Amino acid sequence: MSGHSKWKNIMHKKEKTDAQRASVFTKIGKEIAIAVKEGGPDPVSNSKLRDLITKAKSNNVPNDNIDRIIKKASGADAVAYEELVYEGYGPSGVAVIVEAATDSKNRTAGNVRHAFDKFGGNLGQTGCVSFLFSEKGVIVVSELDEYGDKVVDGDKLMEDALEAGAADFLEDEHMYTIYTEPDDLTAVSDALTGLGYTLESAEKAKVPSTYVTLDNPEDVEKMEKLIDYLDEDDDVVNVYHNWDEA
Model confidence over 94-145: pLDDT tens digits? 999 999 999 999 999 999 999 999 999 999 999 999 999 999 999 999 999 8
Identify the H or E element spanning 63: helix 63-74
Round to whole Å and give the CA distance between 191 and 212: 34
Residue 3 has pLDDT above 50, yes or no: no
DSSP letter (8 states) at residue 243: B
pTM for this structure? Answer: 0.85
In which band, very low, low, confident or very high, does the pLDDT at 11 lie, cut at 50, 70 and 90?
very low
168-172 β-sheet, strand order: 168-172, 175-180, 133-142, 201-208
DSSP letter (8 states) at residue 60: T
All domains in the chain, ordered by first residue: 8-74 (1.10.10.200), 83-131+209-241 (3.30.70.980), 135-208 (3.30.70.980)
For 79-92, the pLDDT digits (tens) are 889 999 999 999 99
Instruction: Output the pLDDT for position 214.
Output: 94
Average pLDDT of span 62-90: 92
The closest of 33, 51, 90 to 230, measured between CA atoms, is: 90
Instruction: Output the pLDDT for position 14.
Output: 45
